[in-house]
Copies of this chain bind each other. A is one copy, B any other.
Amino acid sequence: MKERELIDIIARLAGEQRPGLLRGIGDDCAVIEGRPGLVQLVTMDTLVESVHFDPDWHPPEKLGRKAVAVNVSDVAAMGGTPSFVLLSLGLPAGFDDQWVDRFLRGFTGSCREYGCLLIGGDTVRSPDRIVITVTVIGEAAADQVVYRSRARPGDTIWVSGSLGRAAAGLELCRAGASQSSDPLLESLVEAHLDPRARTVAGRLLAASGLVHAMIDLSDGLATDLAHLCEESRAGAVVEAEKLPAGPALYRASRLLHLDPVRLMVSGGEDYELLFTAGPAAGGDLLRLAAKAGVSFSPVGVITERSGVWLKRAGPGRDAVGEVRIDYKGFDHFPGPAKR
């Protein structure tokens, strides 16, 4: 069984509605009724040692920060503000006190930066590996929450920041270059080790009323855009040449002999925002980006045709091919279209 099938089974068994629930399984956060005029956003993510992080190159402070950020990012992607955090920490017997202390300092420091507070959780013995599960509860104005499910054909698809950075950083770590002295490469490693959630941009986008649908890029553009399209019963075309790469990504791609487009499309953990808006909203969105201190790039369009398609120049540089990329993680990505 694949993860998506498992989630489908869970969603089917979870079943019926309940008063006070606005959105259950299927978006970045569950949405429940809150104080008057507000809703609560609830999300939960787990990081498992050697699956999601490698303590050999992940400093504990940064891992603590990342455990907060990946959850806060889900709240940001619905336009909310994180309020409260719960942490379940599974540790092997005879764990390293110093490691735990540094992890917790990073964790609670990150909570403070995002304006939320650790209020509970659990500590358990996990014999083989460190396991970190975090729940974040956020809040948003009830009339401003942005769902995945409301993209409309004709919408422009936008992403914040630049893409593929965390995936390139992970590859650099795997190649033993986590301590690079090249500041460009170092910035990619940092993107993997210590990502930041786009809370300010998420809130401004939600408050603007311009955005139809939004999701955070945790599993990679191909997968996350496919989620958004599926929930919106629509499709998408992304243009490879519009994808925002930075000079660091090109440098790392050459060094690692990797395709930068592949890193941008299939690489996970950028924690940038992907959102859609009507084609006339471009000017307003660029002004809003300046206010949020981040770049927004239009990368494609929502279509009635289903599927997520990547338009890319073929090897001959004179022809453009389209390849379907829904849910293609890095390993399974089929590469550019052949003529």
A residues with CB within 8 A of B: 1, 3, 6-7, 9-10, 13-18, 20-21, 24-25, 29-30, 32-36, 42-48, 50-52, 83-84, 86-90, 95, 97, 100-101, 104-105, 107-108, 111-112, 116-129, 131, 133, 135, 137
Contacts and interface: CB of A to CB of B under 8 A. Distances in A.
B13 A119 contact: no
A42 B86 contact: yes
B21 A127 contact: no
Residue among A14, A51, A100 with most chain B CB within 10 A: A14
Contact of A129 (B36, B104, B127): B127
Contacts of A87: 10, 44
Contacts of A45: 88, 122
Contacts of A18: 83-84, 116-117
Given A10-B104, A128-B128, A133-B133, 4 more contacts: A6-B100, A6-B123, A47-B124, A48-B127
A88 B46 contact: yes
9 contacts: A10-B123, A13-B107, A18-B83, A18-B117, A25-B119, A30-B120, A44-B122, A48-B126, A126-B131
A124 B130 CA distance: 13
A48 B17 CA distance: 30
- Copies per complex of this chain: 2
A116 B15 CA distance: 11
A122 B131 CA distance: 13
A283 B86 CA distance: 39
Given A1-B95, A24-B119, A46 B90 contact: yes
A9 B104 contact: yes
B42 A119 contact: yes
Given A50-B127, A129-B127, A131-B90, A118 B14 contact: yes
Nearest to A115: B18
A16 to B, nearest CB: 7
B127 A51 contact: yes
Query: Closest 8 CB pairs between A and B?
Result: A30-B119, A14-B118, A30-B120, A133-B133, A13-B108, A24-B119, A44-B86, A128-B128
Contacts of A131: 46, 48, 90, 126, 131
A108 B36 contact: no
A21 B118 CA distance: 11
